[in-house]
Structure formats: structure tokens, C-alpha cells
Structure 1
């Protein structure tokens, strides 16, 4: 009997426990109850935080657009050789020096552009027991303004000048075997001034072709001494009575000649290999008042390769056909190793 009562008590306690667990899950309405929460140990601040406006001064950027791009190259080449008096291999003591200055300025804004380029070259060589001789001598200044008409076509006007610094001589020998110089050219004898306008085709930055439908060229011979030839075997070095009728297309007794012509100028300048620049310029001059056999051609080519920051090697060549100078093609070639300074770097 006691066991029965104990079983009944165990069942009653278990049922009451389950009911209490179910009642604990029911939400309790705490409205109106005075419940105090434990204060947080962390510091806190109540109330509004005041903000003060900070005045920032406007920053003015002094930025200017530079429409000009310039480049200057200065090169110096030196070649020297010395032999002892008993040198059996043969040779002659010599010293050669040459200089080059190339300045180019470009302006471009919207559809208008302007390019100015100056090329100055001069070099001399002195061999033992011989007269000094020039190896290079040129003054060239080209100016061109252009107005863009379409993607690749421009209307242009240009003016360029060309001459030389020093006197040029033709060398011969007299009966004693000594060298004798005859003056054949000097500054502004000849000199060329060319004005041209027309259309330019420029499909890329490295190639362009000018078609000068209206071109005028003035040829100057200001010193009449270039017309006269001296006799190398005359002990008094007197002038020959015989004078050339024309020189560089200018009649004797006149200072210049003006010609109207059709002109084509093609230019190419590009880095063909790493640190190797190819630059060429071809010019064709067709006079309106003469036969087509009198067309003038000139081709300038230069290849310059940088060996390091300063040193470079250059190969230049010029081909010229102008019947006012000579009935045959004239040519010159120069290979030089030297230093080159370029600004800006």
C-alpha cells in the first residue's frame, strides 16, 4: 500500500513540473511594473552633441595648358689621328670636328598648328701639309602654319630659308704640287628663300606630304667672286678674264632670281628600332616657266642610334639634282660617332 501511494506522489510531482515549464514560456506583461536594470559600468553621455561649422577656404589650382612643344638637340663629333714619322703603315695626321644643332618647336590648338625647325651643321677637317676643308656646312630654317580641313588634310603656308656659314672651295694643284683653292660658294652665294602655300596630307604623326600649288623661290648670289676662277699656276694669283655667265641659275651682274613653281615636300620621322631614329625629307621643285628636264630634286636622310644616354652614332646622306648647279647628281655621306645632348630630357 505504501508503494502505491509513493507512485501516485511521483506522478503528481512530474505532472506539476511539466505544467510549470509550459507556463514559463508564456509572455508576461510587465507594464506598470517597477523594474530597475543594472547600470552599465561603461561611461555614457546623454544630451545633444553641439556641432560647429568649419569654413574651408577654396583651393585655386593654377593650371595652364601649354600648347607648345619644343625639342633641342646639340651634337659634337671629333675624329683625330696621329702617326709617328717612322710609321710604316702609312697615314697622315688629321683632326676633324663637327657640330650639329637641331631645334624644333610645335604649336597645336584645336584645328590650327604651327611648326618651326632650325638645322645648323658645320664641320672641318685638317690633314697634315694640306689646307683645311669643310666636311659639312648648312643653314636650314623651315616655318609652316596649317589649318585643318578634315581628318588628314590641311591648308598650309610655309616659308623656309637655306644657305651656308663658310666659304666653299674647289681644290686643285699647281705645277709645284701644292693645293690651290678656288672659291665656288659662300654665305648667301647661293642662298634660297622659298614661300609656298597649298594642301598638306598628314595621315599619321610621322609622315606628311605638302603639295605647294603656289610656290615662289628666290635664289641669291650676293658675291660676284664666285663667278670668277683663279689660275693656280699664275705666280701673281691674278684673276682669269673668263667669267661664268651664270652661277646657281643667277646671271652674272645680278643678285637674285625669282621663280614660280609647283612644289612637293614629303617628310618622314619615326623610331624604326629601339633607340634608332630615321628622318628623311624629299623635295621636288617644278618651275612653271621651264621644261620638265629642269625639275629639282633633293633627298636628305639621317639615321641616328643612341648607344647610351649621351653617345650616339649617326649616318647621314644627301642626294641633289639641280641643273643650275650641275648637270649630274650630287651626293654626300657622313658617318659620325659623338655625343648628343637633348633638351628637354
Structure 2
């Protein structure tokens, strides 16, 4: 037994010495050739997207997308045109900007969407057919790979005055101003939990969201539906409202190489009257015809009893110039 033990120990010592010498020889050879002992760039083909994706680590990012667009439409008829018709011209412009920045567990997202357009029919003057201001800024703090705590501020309004056009008994065209900038406007602050299973979709849950409805022009109330003044008390400019729950679902994805689908749904349930639920859906599909031309179909669906007892729908189809950078 002693003989076997002595032989085993001598064998191990010889192997250890051999491995040590071999290792030092290998390191010396690599050093002599001017290479690191382990050059992974030589062992792994990082130009291969699959290998690169496996080795990719999460890091700080900064990303933005900006869009400038315009569309134009026109039609005219000579006095001799027997088929009937009204000459018209229409122009619309848009500017959108989306900025996202991530640093560690913290991220910041700013989203600005603006649209304005008008149409002019012969004998009727100019009338706006698009008008929207949307700004959303949000800070996130990750708690897991798919969930984060957030603080959010949102503002929505329009640029110019809006009018209700109708005919009186004498068939004389009249118009009543029913809106303008900051009349109405909606300013909302919220904190809550975000669920983001994919880069193109997130769902926000915000109990206790705080909203201010603003009607800065006190003279508008006589023209608003049912003289309800968008829920703001007559003689006041701001109505304060606390939510039992606010839910926001946001989707923005290129569903094909040439087509983008975007929607934002907002549900707001008041703490005073939880059964009174305000809903708003903004959706658009944009298809690129070439590098600078696109077709855009958009729709806004609103149900808000402070505005109207009916469901409101605004829809537009535009073909025009769009530049992204």
C-alpha cells in the first residue's frame, strides 16, 4: 500500500510539473507573437449576427425619431361643368418627435405629436380639418425586465379656434366658436406601474391620476354642447379631477417594412363617479410609397360625457410628403 501511495504521489507531481511547464510555454508563445493568451476575436466570429446577439449585453441607449410631413389636395370646376361640384383646396402639415434615453435602470421618454390642416371650399371660406397637440413625458425606474415604476405628465389641446357651422331659418351661413387653444385642454399627472413585454408596446396602470380640464376662454360656454363647458363650472377656467384608475395602452410598430401601425388608448375613471368612464382612442396606419411619399389613415374615437353624451369620431385620409430623421 505504501508503495502504491508513493507511486501515485510521484505521478501527480510529475503531471503537475508537466502541465505547469506546458502552460508557461503556451503563454510565452502567445506573448512572443504579440497576442493575448486568449484572443476571443480569433475564436468567435462576431460578424455572425447570431453570435453577436448571444454575446450582446444590455447597455445605456439613446434613440430618437423625428417626422416632418405635408399634404396638399385641390380640385376645381369651370363654370361650364355640368356635373356640378365645388372648387376646393386643402393643406395639412405635421411634426412628430419621439426621444428615448436609457441609463442603467432609469429611462426617459418624450413624445410630441402635432397636426394642423385646413380646407377651403369655394363660397365657404377656410375651415380646419386637422388640429392636434399631444405631448407626453415619462420617467421610468425598472423593477424587473418587463415592469417599471413611472411618473408621467401629459398635455393635449389644439392650435386654433374650432367652429360649429350650421344653417339658420333664413338659410344664412353662421358659425359658432366652440374651441380654441387651451379651451379645452387636458393636463394629467400620474404615477404607477408600467408593463412592457416588447419594445413596441406598453401598458400603464395609474391609480390616483390627477387631471385638470382647462377652458381658458370663459365666453365659449354658451356655444359648447348643452352649455356644459367641457365639464368646467361656468365662470371658472379649470376643473380638477382625481381618478380611481387611469389605464393607457400604447402600441407603435412597423408591421411590414413599408407600413407602421400606431395606437394609444386611454381610460380614465373618476374617483367621485367611477361609473363615468372617459375613453379615447387615437390610431393611425402609415404606408410609405417611396422614400418621401406616404399614405396615412388616422382616426380618433372619444367618449366623454363632459364633452358630449354621444360617441365622437374624427377620421382623415392623407397622401403627401413625409421625411423621417
Q: What's the TM-score bracket when you normalise by the shorter of the two chains?
A: 0.7 to 0.9
Instruction: State the distance in 1 between where 2:262 and 2:227 align.
Output: 38
Out of 284, 289, 294, the residue aligned to residue 302 of structure 1 is 284
How big is the alpha-carbon RMSD for the aligned residues of Structure 1 and Structure 2? Answer: 1.6
Displacement of 1:224 in angstroms is 1.4
* 1:149-164 mapped onto 2 (5 Å cutoff): 149-164=143-158
Instruction: State the distance in 1 between where 2:206 and 2:104 align.
Output: 23
Who wins on radius of gyration, i.e. which is larger? 1
Instruction: State the distance in 2 between where 1:289 and 1:329 align.
Output: 22
- Runs of 4+ displaced beyond 4 Å: none
Instruction: Give the structure-2-normalised TM-score.
Output: 0.79
Deviations for 1:292-339, whole angstroms, at most 9, x for unmatched residues? 1x1000011100000001000000011000000000100011000000
- Work out whether 1:270 is the aligned partner of 2:253: yes
Residues 66/204 of structure 1: CA separation in 2 closer, same or farther (3 Å cut): closer
- Work out whether 1:337 is the aligned partner of 2:323: no
Instruction: State the distance in 1 between where 2:94 and 2:77 align.
Output: 29
The answer to whether the 8 A contact 2:133-2:156 is kept is yes
SS in 1 for 2:316: strand
* 1:73-112 mapped onto 2 (5 Å cutoff): 73-112=67-106
The answer to whether the 8 A contact 2:228-2:307 is kept is no
SS in 1 for 2:203: strand
The answer to whether the 8 A contact 1:154-1:199 is kept is yes
Instruction: State the distance in 1 between where 2:232 and 2:104 align.
Output: 43
- 5+ residue gaps, structure 2: 1-58
SS in 1 for 2:219: helix
Instruction: Give the structure-1-normalised TM-score.
Output: 0.75
The answer to whether the 8 A contact 2:221-2:228 is kept is yes
Displacement of 1:280 in angstroms is 0.5
Instruction: State the distance in 2 between where 1:214 and 1:175 align.
Output: 48
Residue in 2 that maps onto 1:328? 310
Instruction: State the distance in 2 between where 1:197 and 1:167 align.
Output: 32
Instruction: State the distance in 2 between where 1:247 and 1:290 align.
Output: 19
Residue in 1 that maps onto 2:192? 198
SS in 2 for 1:290: coil
Residue in 2 that maps onto 1:312? 294
* 1:30-49 mapped onto 2 (5 Å cutoff): none
Displacement of 1:229 in angstroms is 4.0
State the number of aligned residues.
Answer: 266
Out of 221, 230, 247, the residue aligned to residue 229 of structure 2 is 247
Out of 138, 143, 156, the residue aligned to residue 144 of structure 1 is 138
